[in-house]
Amino acid sequence: MTKIRRSSLALVLILPAFLSLSCSVLQGIQQAMTNLTRCKFKLDTVSDMTLAGVPLQNKSSISAVDGARLVAGLAQNNLPATFTLNVAAVNPNDGTGGTTASAATMTSFAWTLILDSMITVKGDIGSPVTIPGTGQQAIIPLRMNLNLAQFFKDKGYEHIVNLALALGGASGSPARIVLRAKPTIQTDLGPITYPGEIDIVNKEFR
């Protein structure tokens, strides 16, 4: 038997197994992508907010002393805000409705913080986060650090203080926040990233 005929025979024997493996891999990728895109997110709460070192938790107004401090900070273009944005995540892959029961381990959650339609800072999670496949909410705490004067000085002192109180004060809410994110989740086939960014808001899971 010539070398060419032996090579052809080997190819005929190997090709079906290769095609079968390729189909299996493609099906696995498709299933992983389906499970991935079923994970949904929503903004939950804002906590532990400070503005230029002034704690805002449970406050509905700013005292005269704190106000003077904030005015001075604004004059120096320095009003650092820190807070935790808690993101609720749901993984419905609990084995019902044709899904495969599986926890989702998120290895990256590249995000952009948008306040009052203004694009501000960017970041990512520092370590993997596991979202259990139970259909129950898991909370992902994201620590935010940004200088509000850098983005909102032109809008004035009142706007900045009202924004800070609306986010982290007595009736604080993430309603004025949009978190633009691109999650990456680890699968048996390796890390898979969402095909596009998603805008996460407080009104509904997305």
pLDDT in tens, 46-91: 999 999 999 999 999 999 999 999 999 999 999 999 999 999 998 8
Is residue 39 within 8 Å of 131, Cβ to Cβ? yes
Q: What pLDDT score does 91 carry?
A: 82
Q: What is the DSSP track for the chain?
A: --HHHHHHHHHHHHHHHHHHHHHHHHHHHHHHHHHHHH-EEEEEEEEEEEETTEE-TT-SS--HHHHHHHHHHHHTT--EEEEEEEEEEE---SS-TTPPP--EEEEEEEEEEEETTEEEEEE--SS-EEE-TTS-EEEEEEEEEEEHHHHHGGG-HHHHHHHHHHHHSTT--GGGEEEEEEEEEEETTEEEE-SS-EEE-SSS--
24 φ, ψ (degrees, to nearest 5)? -65, -40
Tens of pLDDT along 1-50?
555 555 555 545 555 554 454 555 555 455 555 555 678 899 999 999 99
Retrieve residue 111's tokens.
């995000």
| 154 pLDDT higher than 90 | yes
Q: What pLDDT score does 95 carry?
A: 60
Cα separation, 37 vs 35, in Å, equals 6
Cα separation, 43 vs 128, in Å, equals 19
Tens of pLDDT along 87-113?
999 887 666 666 566 777 889 999 999
